[in-house]
């Protein structure tokens, strides 16, 4: 037996490549996932300035962040995943990074709601090609025992992306257009943008361009430094299958397994809540506590995203540590975190001051995001190597359509409903016709009707977010049921 053959037969023990290189690949994919979520969630950081500039309702903001993005993300996810199951997965991810980065930058030049919607759809098309091939690559680099932790680390890109979107997006969005134009002139780049009146350029536009443009460089680095691993390399020798599965074969493989459906619907319900809360997180802080866009992002949004990343890591770490004693822990552990998160979120949204709100919100986010690695671990554990990218794509289709597609829109519509009910009860429906939410930060306390309208504007969102968090109860039940079937459905060489 040659050294190469011997090494390949040890792949299920050693993994693919050296330990250091595997770590580099994992961190690279995690950072790309981070970039994915920076570009995806930046719109939530700058939501209130967009609302003010385009005079949008919460329902419109929910629509902008929800159904169109989710629909195209879902539609493109499966064909791109099938392409990844048949070709070079690194190439697929590289091309998709370029697409979503360019479209993110174009959001900064949107002339109105419709153009912003079109560019957001472009972001969705590109981002659909990130996670399915990335998960497939990770399972071929890391042996079975290490996958839960590896996928947990990769999944931290969701929350780390949230941190960086808050920090960079919030700081850049807080810049005045004139100051940015002056800075460009000071470094000799002002001539590249002739004729622009920087005084008319909002900080949120600058944030989209600055955050989106570097993705092209990152895509090139990935292409030249990450190797495409052999499919099935880390499976036990008797179970290695290198042929690619067709879509119908993949559907037959995961479709018959109850674990997939319970886990997928659990993940979709969590995403329903998560995307809904995330979309209106910054507007909540700005409306209820009169915190500016920069401070809401940097001092509150970034720590919340960071603690969510810690929760994601903790979920993967605990799953790996407890897997010997509780083999199905990866499936049922999220139930525990989600059940704890419900009262914490509800209490946070109705807390009497920002200190209590923030403390409870941090604890809730930690428990909430402990589920994230589990959704991918469940999907990759119950099917053969050649079906994993397609399986994850179908999982993400459900998560996208139910979570991202409905969550933000639901929160926005409920917010408008609660707000309108409160306004009607106060007899201020007519006054609301000329209401300008941008003026709430400087409302005259002696203007009782103006103060009441601004209170209703914040209270509607407060009630909507609290009601949405209660859907975690159904998600916890789904993950508990997935745990009941996990050992029966788990894929092995004898399956």
Residue 2 banded pLDDT, cuts 50, 70, 90 = very low
Cα separation, 388 vs 287, whole angstroms: 43
Q: How far is CA 353 from the centre of its chain?
A: 28
Nearest CA among 53, 152, 27, 137 for reference residue 89: 137
Residue 365 banded pLDDT, cuts 50, 70, 90 = very high
Cα separation, 284 vs 407, whole angstroms: 16
**H or E segment and range at residue 10:** none
* pLDDT tens-digit series, residues 57-111: 899 899 988 888 888 887 887 788 878 878 889 999 999 999 999 999 999 888 8
For residue 399, the number of C-alpha atoms closer than 13 Å in the C-beta half-sphere is: 24
- Residues 172-199 have a mean pLDDT of 77
Kindly state the percentage of the chain with pLDDT values over 70: 89
The least confident of 18-27, 158-167, 188-197, 468-477 is: 188-197
Cα separation, 213 vs 76, whole angstroms: 23
Token pair belonging to 94? 């590289």
Per-residue pLDDT, 97? 94
Per-residue pLDDT, 358? 95
The least confident of 281-295, 389-403, 463-477 is: 389-403
Stated length of the chain: 495
Residue 460: partners with Cβ closer than 8 Å, 6 or more residues away? 58, 414, 415, 416, 417, 418, 419, 420, 421, 422
- Residues 4-29 have a mean pLDDT of 69
Nearest CA among 124, 84, 83, 153 for reference residue 377: 153
- Residues 2-18 have a mean pLDDT of 53
The least confident of 220-229, 271-280, 368-377 is: 368-377
Per-residue pLDDT, 462? 94
Decide: 105 and 154 in contact? Cβ < 8 Å.
no
Quick check: 445 pLDDT over 90? Answer: no
Decide: 143 and 12 in contact? Cβ < 8 Å.
yes
Three-class SS of 421-445: HHHHHCCCHHHHCCCCHHHHHHCCC
Per-residue pLDDT, 3? 39
The least confident of 154-158, 173-177, 383-387, 408-412 is: 383-387
Cα separation, 175 vs 206, whole angstroms: 8
Per-residue pLDDT, 351? 94
Quick check: 247 pLDDT over 80? Answer: no
- Residues 222-250 have a mean pLDDT of 67
Residue 492 banded pLDDT, cuts 50, 70, 90 = low
For residue 134, the number of C-alpha atoms closer than 13 Å in the C-beta half-sphere is: 31
Residue 320 banded pLDDT, cuts 50, 70, 90 = confident
Per-residue pLDDT, 6? 40
Q: What is the pTM of this model?
A: 0.76
Q: How far is CA 419 from the centre of its chain?
A: 27
- Residues 7-19 have a mean pLDDT of 60
Cα separation, 481 vs 495, whole angstroms: 21
Cα separation, 376 vs 33, whole angstroms: 14
Cα separation, 385 vs 233, whole angstroms: 9
Residue 194 banded pLDDT, cuts 50, 70, 90 = confident
Count other C-beta atoms under 10 Å from residue 5's C-beta: 9
Query: Mean pLDDT in the chain?
Result: 83
Residue 116 banded pLDDT, cuts 50, 70, 90 = very high
- Residues 428-448 have a mean pLDDT of 71
Quick check: 239 pLDDT over 70? Answer: no
């Amino acid at each position: 037996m040659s050294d190469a053959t011997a090494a390949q037969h040890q792949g299920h023990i050693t993994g693919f490549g050296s330990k250091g290189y595997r770590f580099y690949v994992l961190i690279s994919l995690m950072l790309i996932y981070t970039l994915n979520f920076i570009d995806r969630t930046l719109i939530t950081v700058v939501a209130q300035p967009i609302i003010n500039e385009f005079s949008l309702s919460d329902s419109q903001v929910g629509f902008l962040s929800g159904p169109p993005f989710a629909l195209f993300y879902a539609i493109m996810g499966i064909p791109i995943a099938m392409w990844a199951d048949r070709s070079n997965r690194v190439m697929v991810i590289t091309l998709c990074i370029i697409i979503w980065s360019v479209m993110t930058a174009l959001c900064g030049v949107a002339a109105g709601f419709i153009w912003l919607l079109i560019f957001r759809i472009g972001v969705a098309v590109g981002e659909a090609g990130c996670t399915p091939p990335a998960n497939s690559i990770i399972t071929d680099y890391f042996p079975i025992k290490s996958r839960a932790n590896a996928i947990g680390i990769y999944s931290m890109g969701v929350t780390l992306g949230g941190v960086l979107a808050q920090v960079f997006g919030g700081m850049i969005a807080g810049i005045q257009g004139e100051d940015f134009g002056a800075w460009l002139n000071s470094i000799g780049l002002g001539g590249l943008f002739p004729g622009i009146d920087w005084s008319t350029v909002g900080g949120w536009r600058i944030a989209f361009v600055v955050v989106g443009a570097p993705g092209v460089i990152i895509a090139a680095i990935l292409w030249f430094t990450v190797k495409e691993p052999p499919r099935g390399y880390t499976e036990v020798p008797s179970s290695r299958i290198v042929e690619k599965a067709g879509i119908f074969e993949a559907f037959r493989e995961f479709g018959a397994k109850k674990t997939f459906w319970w886990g997928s619907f659990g993940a979709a319900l969590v995403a329903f809540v998560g995307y809904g809360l995330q979309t209106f997180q910054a507007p909540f802080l700005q409306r209820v506590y009169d915190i500016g866009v920069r401070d809401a992002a940097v001092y509150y949004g970034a720590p919340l995203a960071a603690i969510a990343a810690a929760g994601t890591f903790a979920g993967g770490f605990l799953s790996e540590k407890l897997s010997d004693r509780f083999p199905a822990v990866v499936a049922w552990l999220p139930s525990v975190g989600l059940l704890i998160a419900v009262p914490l979120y509800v209490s946070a949204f109705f807390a009497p001051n920002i200190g209590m709100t923030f403390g409870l919100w941090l604890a809730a986010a930690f428990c909430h995001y402990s589920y994230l690695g589990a959704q991918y671990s469940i999907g990759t554990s119950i099917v053969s190597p050649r079906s994993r990218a397609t399986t994850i794509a179908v999982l993400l289709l459900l998560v996208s359509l139910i979570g991202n597609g409905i969550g933000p829109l639901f929160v926005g519509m409920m917010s408008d409903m609660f707000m309108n009910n409160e306004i009607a009860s106060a007899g201020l429906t007519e006054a609301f016709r000329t209401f300008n939410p941008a003026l709430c930060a400087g409302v005259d306390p002696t203007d009782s009707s103006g103060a009441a309208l601004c209170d209703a504007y914040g209270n509607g969102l407060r009630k909507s977010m609290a009601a949405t968090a209660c859907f975690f109860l159904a998600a916890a039940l789904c993950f508990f049921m997935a745990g009941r079937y996990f050992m029966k459905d788990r894929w092995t060489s004898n399956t």
